[in-house]
Amino acid sequence: MADSKKTVHQVSDEKRKPGQGETLKKVFRHLGKYRIFVVFSILLATISVALTLYVPKLTGYAVDYIIAAGKVDFPGVFRVMIQIGVCTLITALAQWLMNVCNNKMTYQVVQDIRNEAFRKIEILPLKYIDGHPYGEVVSRVIADVDQFADGLLMGFTQLFTGVATIVGTFCFMLSVNVTITFVVVLITPVSFLVANFIAKRTFSMFRLQSEIRGEQTGLIDEMVGNQKVVQAFGRGKDVTEQFDEINERLGKAYLKAIFFSSITNPSTRFVNSLVYTGVGITGAFAVVRGSLSVGQLSSFLSYANQYTKPFNEISGVVTEFQNAVACAQRIFDLIEEEPQTPEPEGAAELKDIAGYVKAEHVDFSYVEEQELIRDFNLTVKPGQRIAIVGPTGCGKTTIINLLMRFYDVNSGVISVEGIDIREMTRKSLRAGYGMVLQDTWLKTGTIRDNIIMGRPDATEEEIIEAAKASHIHSFIRRLPNGYDTWITEDGGGLSQGQKQLLCIARVMLCRPPMLILDEATSSIDTRTEMKIQDAFAALMEGRTTFIVAHRLSTIREADVILVMKDGQIIEQGNHESLLAEGGFYKHLYESQFEHRTGEARVSG
């Protein structure tokens, strides 16, 4: 199921993949909020470049003041040196302020994009999360945004300065000598052609590199999070081979991207050397003819070097920017994902919940081509205990997902208190349920933080009472810091049963009007389970409860048992009536009973 869902999303990602120009438009839209920094950055870059380019002209004056041995105009040289010093100080200040503006602008944009991505994850439908590896999503929000920040910062730091240097140098060269300037401009377009040729090829390579890196992060996240399972099933070698295969593809993608990006600088430097050579030869003849002074030639050579230098820097910026745009495209893909169905205007707030639930002609499937729930009908009266049983894959947990509106039905209606759940706020609907699942979930924090998740305002007495009801209070007291003991999301040194008891305590504290118990005691020993069942019995009193169970012995007291097979309810009734019918339920029950009897016989 997961594989098929993932394939569907990967196909949709391919269809939706935008071009580089479209991605750049989105980047500039985000920059619009901070245009004041852009304006200041351009202004400071202009000042910095203008003064930097004025220094070679001053140097030329200084050279011309040195006429010959014994004929040096020292006051003139000294005056020029002071001017050069002032220009250098102002240039340094302008560059520092420009870097401050660029840093502020870049990290504000990155912060906005990352916040936007995180907010989008909060409202994405679960089918997106189920269809993409968690590590790949994390890679987009963390690694790709960091790469984008680096490229954006380099772009604004060097791109403005580089462009301003080219324009400024061109103007200064024109003021010195038009003919030699023409030689420089004639050779310059070759640099553009070389940089453009390389840039077109590097973007697709950097994009592929980002995608493979996300795939690699997803695998690492999955394997590290499930290391015990990997080791228990001896999958270490297979996982290593899978990692090596991804790593090899990533290495090839890196190699191609780096190869093309690395030839940019030498290529443009070669063109720049041609420019410098052309200026030197043309300028030398001009000096011989007397149309150019030695000082002017010195200035011109310096300008030629400065004129070509930005092309090297810009080519490097373009290469880094290609990587940044490729990463930006991946994060924008996430931001522009279709969100979950929005709540209607004026959506109802579910209040005063008695526990009346009804499903009418519900159809649902995770994948269009594969039917799952078909014509599902159910009426639950307040306070009833509804058990859902059936073979693996019959749709038991899917029913829970639909009741909680983690997924929307394809057709039909599910209502609570007579209101279609699509016409009410998700928050109020989910606040009406308390869930204990087979898969436990804890957050990094203290034991207390994990218990009060549903009721942050709970008092210490209420917390302890809930822990006692779930039979975990005595264990918590033995911990180094009691309820203030710090645990990680995987529970640290807690056993699976202890983690499940913490989740049960969380529900015991909330005491919601409706309960969902999906194999809630599957990881707890039999003795503790009997105590928990008593606590649950007290908690379920007067509350509508949905129980998903594989061990049929735990649901004998249910008011209604729904027997599901292939997405449909094939039998319905209480334990005694279903056994009397002699149908599928009886077959399931007796097969479990015989299996356990056989186990007891073998152990005996």
Q: Tell which wins on pLDDT, 520 or 109.
A: 109
Question: What phi and psi, each to the nearest 5 degrees, are found at residue 406?
Answer: -70, -30
> Which pair of structure tokens corresponds to residue 160?
């403005």
Average pLDDT over residues 3-26: 55
Q: How many residues does the chain have?
A: 604
Mention every residue, 6+ apart, whose C-beta is less than 8 A from residue 601.
Answer: none
The pTM of this model reads: 0.62
> Which pair of structure tokens corresponds to residue 175?
């003021």
Q: Is residue 242 included in any domain, yes or no? A: yes
Quote the pLDDT of residue 601.
34
Q: Is residue 461 included in any domain, yes or no? A: no
Q: Is residue 510 included in any domain, yes or no? A: no
| pLDDT tens per residue, range 581-600 | 888 888 887 776 554 444 43
**Which band of pLDDT confidence, cut at 50, 70 and 90, is reported for residue 139?**
confident
Average pLDDT over residues 545-571: 79
Quote the pLDDT of residue 124.
83
Mention every residue, 6+ apart, whose C-beta is less than 8 A from residue 16.
Answer: 333
CATH of the domain at 138: 1.20.1560.10
Q: Is residue 308 included in any domain, yes or no? A: yes
Quote the pLDDT of residue 592.
66
Q: Are 243 and 219 in contact (CB under 8 A)?
A: yes
Helix (H, G, I), strand (E, B) or coil at 48: helix
| pLDDT tens per residue, range 238-266 | 888 888 888 888 888 888 877 777 777 67
**Which band of pLDDT confidence, cut at 50, 70 and 90, is reported for residue 97?**
very high
C-alpha dist (Å) from residue 201 to 126, 150, 151, 295: 36, 20, 17, 43
Helix 294-335 to helix 74-123 angle, to the nearest 10 degrees?
Answer: 10
Quote the pLDDT of residue 319.
67
Judged against a pLDDT cut of 70, whether residue 43 lies above it is answered with yes
Quote the pLDDT of residue 1.
37
Distance of CA 287 to the CA centre of its chain: 62
In angstroms, the CA 554 to CA 546 distance is 13
- Beta bridge partners, 271, equal none
The count of structural domains within the chain is 1
| pLDDT tens per residue, range 374-422 | 888 888 888 888 888 888 777 788 888 899 888 888 899 999 998 999 9
Quote the pLDDT of residue 413.
93
Domain housing 169: 18-335
Q: Tell which wins on pLDDT, 118 or 172.
A: 118
In angstroms, the CA 411 to CA 425 distance is 19
Average pLDDT over residues 222-226: 75
Judged against a pLDDT cut of 80, whether residue 42 lies above it is answered with yes
C-alpha dist (Å) from residue 339 to 30, 202, 373: 20, 32, 23
| pLDDT tens per residue, range 318-372 | 767 777 887 888 888 888 888 888 888 888 888 888 889 999 998 888 877 777 8
Apex 407 CA angle, 402 and 410, nearest 5: 85
Judged against a pLDDT cut of 60, whether residue 535 lies above it is answered with yes
Any idea which residue has 């639950």 for tokens? Answer: 380
Q: Is residue 24 included in any domain, yes or no? A: yes
Instruction: Give the chain's radius of gyration (CA, Å).
Output: 35
Quote the pLDDT of residue 313.
67
* Average pLDDT value for the chain: 79
Apex 254 CA angle, 251 and 257, nearest 5: 150
Listed ranges 139-153, 197-211, 549-563; the one with the highest mean pLDDT: 139-153
